[in-house]
Structure 1
């Protein structure tokens, strides 16, 4: 009887650990998400009164230069 219980426990342990190993990325992301939600609480939503822009866009004779952003990353 004791060996059947031990064998059942070992089989359950092998199945659980192998499924956790196969889903290890999902498990780690879930742990990080859970810890971040507990450590950094999100405040309530609040209304912000933004400043109104001009009713008509300002036109200039020369066209505006293009918006080009260069991102350089190095290890």
Structure 2
């Protein structure tokens, strides 16, 4: 968790019983997701209720968590 920007890839052994490791260090700082925000002005749109009903009654393939996130994006 403290080193989420470091990735290790273990390669196949060749001659001896030691396996080489490639280490990649991402120099960019880890990005944080922005929290979901609902702007009240969106709800003032006269078609808001209809659009909301269409999006949430539709089917999205994937896990429940993925499906919820996809619908929020829609």
Q: TM (normalized to structure 1)?
A: 0.22
Larger Rg: 1
Bigger fraction of residues in strand: 2
Q: TM (normalized to structure 2)?
A: 0.23
Identify the structure with bigger relative contact order (alpha carbons < 8 Å, sequence gap 6+).
2
